[in-house]
Structure 1
């Protein structure tokens, strides 16, 4: 469902898996791993039907240039603790599901304050 970019903790995938099944972290995927180029992450998300969860503005630029898929959720939360990222995603769970299930939408910004 979600592909957690490496600019977020890989631990976020396990913490969100109850609400967002089949969530995986880039850093824990043998075919990608830590330090994977953005292009490889983009293609992986696209090929596996995953929504990319990131803090990286580069993926917004990719989305603007190439369009979906994949869908991109950008957390605008700055340097924050794992708990803050988790809370931002969980607090927007319904919005995220609506976003994922609406074909016309491809880019979502979540602001953490």
Structure 2
């Protein structure tokens, strides 16, 4: 389903597992781990058919240059509290599921 970039808490994976199956956090993936480069994350997501969930605009830049796959879900939120991010994702779960299942341009921006 998707890969949580390390600019978001790995704790999101457990909090979102009821709404989204197949969530992985970069910091918990053995072959990636903390400190992985954006390029490594991009390649991992592409090779494992995962979308990238991120607050990092760099992945939008990758998407602009390379196109999908992987798809990118870019969260635009100033509040970095885990509960606020979790709430934003859950409020948009239907939109996210549609985005992941449809053939589209590969970029979804969700603004708080």
State the partner residue of 2:66.
66
* Equivalent position SS for 2:34: coil
Matched length: 112
Deviations 1:56-99 (A, max 9, x none): 00000000000000000000012410001100000000000111
Gaps of 5+ in 2: none
* Equivalent position SS for 2:33: coil
Question: Following superposition, which runs of at least 4 residues in structure 1 exceed 4 angstroms of deviation?
Answer: none
Q: Does 2:49 match 1:54?
A: no
TM-score by length of 1: 0.96
Distance in 2 (CA, whole Å) between partners of 1:79 and 1:12 is 15
RMSD of aligned alpha carbons = 0.8
Distance in 1 (CA, whole Å) between partners of 2:104 and 2:33 is 31
* Equivalent position SS for 1:35: coil
Give the drift of 1:101: 1.1
Tell whether the 8 Å contact from 1:52 to 1:71 is kept in structure 2 after alignment. Answer: yes
* Equivalent position SS for 2:74: strand
Tell whether the 8 Å contact from 1:4 to 1:24 is kept in structure 2 after alignment. Answer: yes
TM-score by length of 2: 0.97
State the partner residue of 1:89.
89
Gaps of 5+ in 1: none
Question: Following superposition of structure 1 onto structure 2, how do residues 1-113 of structure 1 map, counting pairs within 5 Å?
Answer: 1-112=1-112
